[in-house]
Amino acid sequence: MNTASLAFAEEFVPEDELLRAARQRGTEVGAPPILPGAGAALSFLASANNARAVVEIGTGCGVSGLWLLRGMRQDGTLTSVDAEPEHQRLARQTFAEAGFSGSRIRLIVGRALDVLPRLADGGYDLVFCDAAKQEYGDYLAEAIRLLRIGGIVAFDNALWHDKVADPTQRDPDTVVIRELGKLVRGDERLRPLMLPLGDGLLAAVKLSS
């Protein structure tokens, strides 16, 4: 696929003013948000899965959360975990500006690997991961536990600035993300998919426990 086609796909579902404002806030506070193409894919996955209960690991300033909420059922709840209270304050602003009531959103401040074990087994339709890259393998294990059969796990930055596909790139984050891809692809409980949107979106459906 050439550069023009990739750019066309990335911009096919454009961001609106609310998403652009949230993106700007995220950039300003050092919480890089998901890119539009991958955000649109998240919204699509949430809609296709009729998602009612979603976990987001890495709230940022609300860009990915807003994409997810727009794809979820109207009675759905987004549980979003982030270690930075200021990021979640800005995310709450984003959700309020978009018209989503507080009852639709549960923001939890804390380290993901401390919070996730407290969430219910098999109680979620979709888990989206976009936080500490070194913990991606642990997020996968938690996501498989949290998801119902037919639920979806998705990881942002799965191509990691075009480094994952280059075997000469061996920095720690690239190695971890590359290994994550192998784990997902080799797990018989999962049906995987790599989407070359944004910085890469790795998704998988949970087929069995």
Q: Give the list of residues 6+ apart from residue 169 with CB closer than 8 angstroms, or none.
A: 163
What domain count does the chain have?
1
Q: What is the pLDDT of residue 169?
A: 97
Q: How confident is the model at residue 1 (pLDDT cuts 50, 70, 90)?
A: low
Evaluate whether 28 touches 60 at the Cβ level (below 8 Å). no
Write the pLDDT tens digit of every residue in 78-115. 999 999 999 999 999 999 999 998 999 999 999 999 99
Q: If you average pLDDT over every residue of the chain, what do you get?
A: 97
Q: CA of 42: how far to CAs of 8, 85, 92, 169, in Å?
A: 18, 24, 19, 28
Evaluate whether 150 touches 205 at the Cβ level (below 8 Å). yes
CA dist 176 and 173 (Å) reads 5
Residue type present at position 92: R
Instruction: Provide the H-helix boundaries in the chain.
Output: 3-10, 17-28, 36-48, 63-71, 85-97, 112-115, 136-146, 172-186
CA dist 129 and 112 (Å) reads 10
Q: What is the pLDDT of residue 2?
A: 81
Average pLDDT of the residues in 111-135:
98
Report if pTM > 0.95.
yes
* Pairing relationship of beta strands 53-57 and 124-129 according to DSSP bridges: parallel
Compute and round to an integer the Cα radius of gyration of the chain. 16
In DSSP terms, 156 is beta-bridged to 201
For residue 40, the domain's CATH number is 3.40.50.150
Write the pLDDT tens digit of every residue in 153-177. 999 999 999 999 999 999 999 999 9
Indicate the angle between helix axes 85-97 and 63-71, nearest 10 degrees: 40
Which candidate, 150, 153, 149, 161, places its Cα nearest to that of 183? Answer: 153
Write the pLDDT tens digit of every residue in 22-76. 999 999 999 999 999 999 999 999 999 999 999 999 999 999 999 999 999 999 9
Question: Which run of H or E residues covers position 205?
Answer: strand 201-206
Give the domain range for residue 167. 3-206
